Structure 1
Amino acid sequence: MQQKRNIQIIEWEDLDKRKFYSFGIFMTMTIRATVYPATLIRTRLQVQRGRSLYNGTLDAFVKILRTEGVRGLYRGFMVNTFTLISGQAYITTYEVVRKYVSLYSDNNTLKSLVAGGSASLVAQSITVPIDVVSQQLMMQGQREHLSRFKVHTDTGGSKRVFGPTRNIMGQIFAADGLRGFYRGYVASLLTYIPNSAVWWPFYHFYAEQLSRLAPSDCPHLLLQAVAGPLAAATASTVTNPMDVVRARIQVEGRSSVMDTFKQLISEEGFWGLTKGLSARIISSAPTAIVMVVGYETLKKLSLRPELVDSRHW
């Protein structure tokens, strides 16, 4: 009975890799499309000075929808879809490093912490250039121009779809060279490595605690779906200050993490470190639910056939 009440973790060696990657791409794309508007709103809130444009998450959503339409909520989305590559790199690194650490320790918290941090390091090395471009595109279309670069609109055909992206990339390269595409890389690592390293241990912790409180016949997937947003809210709260700094460095063209941090504190006080937190939690909580349900279902669907009957769900 106790064995059934514990959350059973599907490890890397239990998976059919072909199914895992095929289903994983579709799952990742669906998640990106679902939460992208909240990501865009969070970025705009973090970059604005004080409350110069928006008074909060809901106010930003209403104003963007009214002035820019639904398309405004998806500015830069086409570029952001390239993060599918980093998404696959992330989950592969997480599972492989977790397997490697298990050779030295059976402690699940340690395995999750090391694997989560390593996965984020690899993924951010791929994601940062994509983020730099997509965040510049996110900042277009506002009454007050908060980005260093301004898209020169083209008309007709493919230029209307891909023109702004090429335009922004050209301006970034002209201003900063190749280094410009990795602006904020250190800040991103300081944000997302701790975020990932915190999320996974808390996710397994919350899932295990819920499994002890829930009836023995409660589906594990339901418990995991609740544990996901709890872990996301915890990790978001811990890492939001650095996320604000990261967004400003990438959008405003700054180079120093410490100088950006000091200026933020001097201009807006410590409350400035909470900018975009509600939007971040609003986006991360549903993302966590979709991700957890999708990821655990993905692993269940990808489980090697001979192991299916041995698992309790």
Structure 2
Amino acid sequence: MQQNRNIQIIEWEDLDKRKFYSFGVFMTMTIRATVYPATLIRTRLQVQKGKSLYNGTFDAFFKILRAEGVRGLYRGFMVNTFTLISGQAYITTYELVRKYVSNYSKDNTVKSLVAGGAASLVAQTITVPIDVISQQLMMQGQGKHLTRFRVKVKTEADGKTKMAFGQTRNMIAQIFAADGFRGFYRGYVASLLTYIPNSAVWWPFYHFYAEQLSKMAPSDCPHLLLQAMAGPLAAATASTVTNPMDVVRARVQVEGRTSVIETFRHLLAEEGFWGMTKGLSARIISSIPTAIVMVVGYETLKRVSLRPELVDSRHW
């Protein structure tokens, strides 16, 4: 624990690991369920050509809700829950690398940057195949013409179509038949180029904003409140910096492209600079509640997971 900071940071050695992992699974699942609709909307906005289907985040939300119902906002969610594994891998890697780097540097920015990047590398290796499948499922509603694959549908008596059972298994089979095992890692490089910088930027800015807010706030202001405010600020900063690569990543994974550079050039030629901002508002909108829930959940998780002998020695 760094005693010379206004915001106390709970380090890996301060935690009861059994509590940390038990509560962590519940926290991760809650966050995923909360922000999934915004993730789906962001993906559809990034993949559509120009404004061929949706005019923006809120337009997409209401169109999907009207045409596909609440279930439409959660297409691919079940397969996406497997990212619980990558979530646990992420926080474990982050904390362990922070501890390792502290042997060489006590600078919090250095520890946060290196640990954030390393955690993202590990998590994305697990997450990309899940993302590839869930993103294809996300596009099956009104955006079904934007993807190479179509899942089975059945027509009901009133003429409406309904997704058939087993669509995840059907999608996996189609991806494997078209691209083999490599198809599940399509966009892996683009994901690394997006999420490693995003994670590496987010953590230092999170601690920076929390520290700056602590200097402006009254001394009795709860640290958790300051951290809850710092999270969205860091998320908006990181989202803005890395959005161009996120657009490229979505195009590579959904459209089946193979070259990150060619996809980037094609996007610039087709839609210009503003094409790089596609989905940015949805990304920021989704990242703000995500950051609040994640920060409050994660910091609370660490506090309830403190080793018993340390509980009374910490001021929050």
Q: For residues 70 and 129 of structure 1, what CA distance do their matches in structure 2 show?
A: 25
> 1:228 aligned to 227, 231, 238, which one?
231
For 1:141, the equivalent position in structure 2 comes to 141
The reply on whether 1:306 has 2:309 as its aligned counterpart is: yes
Q: Normalising to structure 1: TM-score of the pair?
A: 0.96
2:153 and 2:164 in contact (8 A); partners too: no
For 2:16, the equivalent position in structure 1 comes to 16
Q: For residues 131 and 118 of structure 1, what CA distance do their matches in structure 2 show?
A: 19
For 2:216, the equivalent position in structure 1 comes to 213
User: Which stretches in structure 1 are left out of the alignment for 5+ residues?
Assistant: none
1:225 and 1:293 in contact (8 A); partners too: yes
The reply on whether 1:177 has 2:180 as its aligned counterpart is: yes
> 2:281 aligned to 269, 272, 278, which one?
278
Q: For residues 111 and 162 of structure 1, what CA distance do their matches in structure 2 show?
A: 46
For 2:99, the equivalent position in structure 1 comes to 99
When residues 99 and 5 of structure 1 are mapped into structure 2, their CA distance, relative to the original with a 3 A threshold, is closer
> 1:287 aligned to 290, 304, 311, which one?
290
After superposition, give the CA deviation of every residue in 1:267-307 in whole Å (9 maximum; x if it has no partner): 10000000000000000010000000000000000000000
SS of equivalent residue, structure 2 residue 178 = helix
Identity %: 86
For 1:89, the equivalent position in structure 2 comes to 89
When residues 4 and 103 of structure 1 are mapped into structure 2, their CA distance, relative to the original with a 3 A threshold, is closer
Superposition deviation, residue 153 in structure 1: 2.5
Query: Which one-letter code corresponds to 1:64 in the other structure?
Result: I
1:5 and 1:212 in contact (8 A); partners too: no
For 1:192, the equivalent position in structure 2 comes to 195
Q: Normalising to structure 2: TM-score of the pair?
A: 0.95
> 2:259 aligned to 249, 252, 256, which one?
256
After superposition, give the CA deviation of every residue in 1:194-245 in whole Å (9 maximum; x if it has no partner): 0000000000000000001100000000000000000000000000000000
When residues 103 and 274 of structure 1 are mapped into structure 2, their CA distance, relative to the original with a 3 A threshold, is same
After superposition, give the CA deviation of every residue in 1:169-205 in whole Å (9 maximum; x if it has no partner): 0000000000000000000000000000000000000
Superposition deviation, residue 109 in structure 1: 0.1
1:46 and 1:244 in contact (8 A); partners too: yes
For 2:166, the equivalent position in structure 1 comes to 163
User: Which stretches in structure 2 are left out of the alignment for 5+ residues?
Assistant: 156-162
Q: For residues 273 and 208 of structure 1, what CA distance do their matches in structure 2 show?
A: 31
2:44 and 2:143 in contact (8 A); partners too: no
Superposition deviation, residue 141 in structure 1: 1.3
When residues 272 and 143 of structure 1 are mapped into structure 2, their CA distance, relative to the original with a 3 A threshold, is closer
Runs of 4+ in 1 over 3 A off after TM superposition: none
Q: For residues 249 and 144 of structure 1, what CA distance do their matches in structure 2 show?
A: 16
Q: For residues 18 and 161 of structure 1, what CA distance do their matches in structure 2 show?
A: 40
Superposition deviation, residue 143 in structure 1: 5.9
Q: For residues 262 and 143 of structure 1, what CA distance do their matches in structure 2 show?
A: 23
Q: For residues 188 and 102 of structure 2, what CA distance do their matches in structure 1 show?
A: 30
Query: Which one-letter code corresponds to 1:67 in the other structure?
Result: A
Q: For residues 205 and 21 of structure 1, what CA distance do their matches in structure 2 show?
A: 27
Q: For residues 143 and 307 of structure 2, what CA distance do their matches in structure 1 show?
A: 54
Deviating more after overlay: 219-228 vs 144-153: 144-153
When residues 143 and 192 of structure 1 are mapped into structure 2, their CA distance, relative to the original with a 3 A threshold, is closer
